[in-house]
Amino acid sequence: MAKKTPETVSINERSKDAALEKDRSDPTGQRLTTDLGVPVEDTDNSLRVGARGPTLLEDFHLREKIMRFDHERIPERVVHARGSAAHGYFQVYESLAEYTKAKVFQDPSKKTPVFVRFSTVAGSRGSADTARDVRGFAVKFYTEEGNWDLVGNNIPVFFIQDGIKFPDVVHAAKPEPHHEIPQAATAHNSFWDFVSLVPETAHMIMWIMSDRAIPRSFRMMEGFGVHTFRLVNAQGVSRFVKFHWKPVLGVHSLVWDESQKLGGKDPDFHRRDLWESIEKGHFPEWELGLQIIEEADADKLGIELLDATKIIPEELVPVRRVGKLVLNRNPTNFFAETEQVAFCTANVVPGIDFTDDPLLQARNFSYLDTQLTRLGGPNFNQLPINRPLAPVHNFQQDGFQRHTIDVGRANYFPNSLGGGCPFLASAEQGAYRHFPEKVTGEKIRKRAESFQDHFSQAGLFFRSMSKPEREHIILALQFELGKVEREEVRKRVVDQILVNIDSELATEVAEGLGLPVPVMTAVKGKIEKVAESLGVPRLDKSPALSMENQKKDSIKTRRIGVLIGDGFDAADLQATKAAIEKAGGELVLISRRLGTVKGSDGQSVKVDKSAVTTGSFEYDAVFVPGGAPSVAVLKKDGDSLHFIQEAYRHCKAIGVTKEAAELLQAGGLSASSPGVVVGAAGGQDFPEKFIEAIAQHRHWSRHDKDLIPA
């Protein structure tokens, strides 16, 4: 027998796609068959005795069809049930061999296939995309050394420090057990009861009450690995690392009013946005960022790296951008890919390792465990979407839904009957070797003192926000706590949690809730002392935390709603369309009804959306071209006035040309307000100014916006 050499794979961007192709089934031009390949002649009438007689048990096609339908559902994920995913690749900019031996980080010419699933956490599979929530950001890298899963979120911290509390925080956040209310919302008694009693939630609360929890798009949010991981190089040197994903389009959010309206008008807003962007060739991109900390420097930061309720401010350890993630292909089948994909934090490759973060350690168990139930047994990694591209050989066997047909009679190690195969590899040959961290200690149930500072980074976050961002956090808390029926819970959140974060925050929230303005509690003193003894740097602000400080230099993929009627100024529309499309934006024409509208040049244009099906909250900006007949109709149309008023209230860019300026007046809007761009007849610089205004995303300084009736 010829001697076999160990299998290896060479991976490129298309490798996973090619592997999935073998499992795809395309019915085009094919006969309808049973599950066993028998052609079917009639799938509308069951087999019966006479045209009005009883149905026969013998009808195997009927039984199979119904049986398969009856069992279509599998349990949804206990958290992160609602998700949307896409394929793509990751490419490193330059070799990171100095830090890690992971092959995915060695060769800048190599594209490693990835599958990325975004999700909300609390809602069920059918819940609305725009609920206030954390977003999951889970990346599966199909590397030549096996699958690496970076299972992150769009928020860099978590509610709790120890995985043993995960069932508690999730039970509290999910619908209440007696009546299963509310869906996809934390605005209820049990969640805030938990928060009020668990101060370690404070930092995370600031993030989820901020606009980060209502992203404009999956494509415009950051991602974080949250925990501190290790990078280990070929020499066995380990460094701590925090993983970041930085969206190339910048970080942008909705406003709360939009989120709620979108929940009704387009509950698939984020899913649709991701799908359509990829279909149009606007591939979402992120840069992978690393914060690398030498082991020797870990204590000098004064931040407990094993505490997942803490960040390392970028001002202390800069984020180095090391590679690019591009999503360029939609899944072929939602269930087979997006639903059946199984991520697990324990899926690592040589060169990437864990730390003793107690949250991470619990996750390493939980994902595998939950998938046993969700995917019906231990063979879920053989499902096409989960199958690694790297070769798999071991003596794990049998179980429900086994796909592999294992060859040979030796199914144990060591063996001689199978020639000793599969044999062990050394670390030099690519075997995973856990980092030999030295550990000593007693078995105890206790958290270190260094985990006791719950408020200083929550305060840092609040202080680092711009004024509008702070206002949004206060309003979000007033909304959420306003929905809590128990006054003692509302009060405890203010008195025990918020007051320790920031007194302005606590005071404003208390006022909105009609509660007495709280006084500082004794907790503050104790916590502050712990922080001081740890030497936590007293950063007053971390500008990197504010979305206001993110780049705002592009309108790429932005959607601009255009209100038009018959007689619109064709030259205005053409000029604006050309400029916006050149800058990467997209115009969506909205009119009273579908069909066409006629411009001033006598040409008809196709309407994209009827006003009945859409609203201003689906767009990043509004444009109204001039044209007296068109404007006259819009001015008398309540929906159009509402559209533009609502966009104004949401602080979006509004562009009007010539006669359309009258629409501002009719809606009671100020033409000189920031972000409102008025183009006079013959005004050449209108498109540039409008584009600049759109790129700002929002114009928060519109002081009169709250007076607008939208």
Which residues does the annotation place in the binding site for heme? 77, 117, 166, 363, 367, 374
Nearest to 560 by CA among 548, 576, 574, 572: 576
Task: Decide if 626 contacts 680 (C-beta within 8 A).
Answer: no
Residue 77 lies near ligand HDE (rule: CB under 6 A) = yes
Question: Where do the H-state alpha helices sit in 164-201?
Answer: 166-173, 189-197
Residue 151 lies near ligand HDE (rule: CB under 6 A) = yes
| Separation CA 61–CA 42 (nearest Å) | 9
Q: Applying CB under 6 A, what is the total number of residues that bind ligand HDE?
A: 27
Residue nearer to ligand HDE on the CB measure, 360 or 647: 360
Considering the candidates 87, 147, 153, 227, report the single residue annotated as catalytic: 153
Active-site residue, 71 included: no
Q: Is the dihedral of CA 284, 159, 185, 644 positive or negative?
A: negative
Q: Which of 20, 79, 348, 580 binds ligand HDE (CB under 6 A)?
A: 79
Least distance in angstroms from the C-beta of 74 to ligand HDE: 12
β-partners of residue 223 are: 245
| Residues 304-323 within binding reach of ligand HDE (CB under 6 A) | 308
| Separation CA 594–CA 688 (nearest Å) | 30
Active-site residue, 697 included: no
CB atoms within 10 A of CB 638: 7
Question: Where do the H-state alpha helices sit in 8-131?
Answer: 15-21, 60-70
Residue ranges of the binding site:
77, 117, 166, 363, 367, 374
Residues in the chain: 710
Least distance in angstroms from the C-beta of 667 to ligand HDE: 42
Residue nearer to ligand HDE on the CB measure, 83 or 518: 83
Residue nearer to ligand HDE on the CB measure, 448 or 680: 448
Per-residue binder mask for ligand HDE (CB under 6 A), 106-145, x = binder: -----------x-x----------------x-x-------
Considering the candidates 80, 87, 188, 227, report the single residue annotated as catalytic: 80
Helix, strand, coil % in the chain, rounded to nearest 5 = 35, 15, 50
Residue nearer to ligand HDE on the CB measure, 310 or 699: 310
Q: Is the dihedral of CA 244, 276, 261, 646 positive or negative?
A: positive
Least distance in angstroms from the C-beta of 602 to ligand HDE: 52
Residue 359 lies near ligand HDE (rule: CB under 6 A) = yes
| Separation CA 549–CA 547 (nearest Å) | 5
Residue range at the interface with ligand HDE (CB under 6 A); choices 339-347, 471-479, 480-488, 610-618: 339-347
Q: Which of 141, 194, 343, 354 binds ligand HDE (CB under 6 A)?
A: 343
**279: burial class by Cβ within 10 Å (0-12, 13-18, 19+)?**
exposed
Task: Decide if 283 contacts 247 (C-beta within 8 A).
Answer: no
Residue 350 lies near ligand HDE (rule: CB under 6 A) = no
Residue 153 lies near ligand HDE (rule: CB under 6 A) = yes
| Separation CA 469–CA 700 (nearest Å) | 9
Residue nearer to ligand HDE on the CB measure, 223 or 627: 223
Q: Which of 78, 248, 410, 588 binds ligand HDE (CB under 6 A)?
A: 78
Phi first, then psi, for residue 359 (nearest 5°) are -75, -45
Binding footprint of ligand HDE on the chain (CB under 6 A): 77-80, 83, 117, 119, 136, 138, 151-153, 158, 163, 166, 226, 308, 341-343, 359, 362-363, 366-367, 370-371
Point out the residues that are catalytic. 80, 153
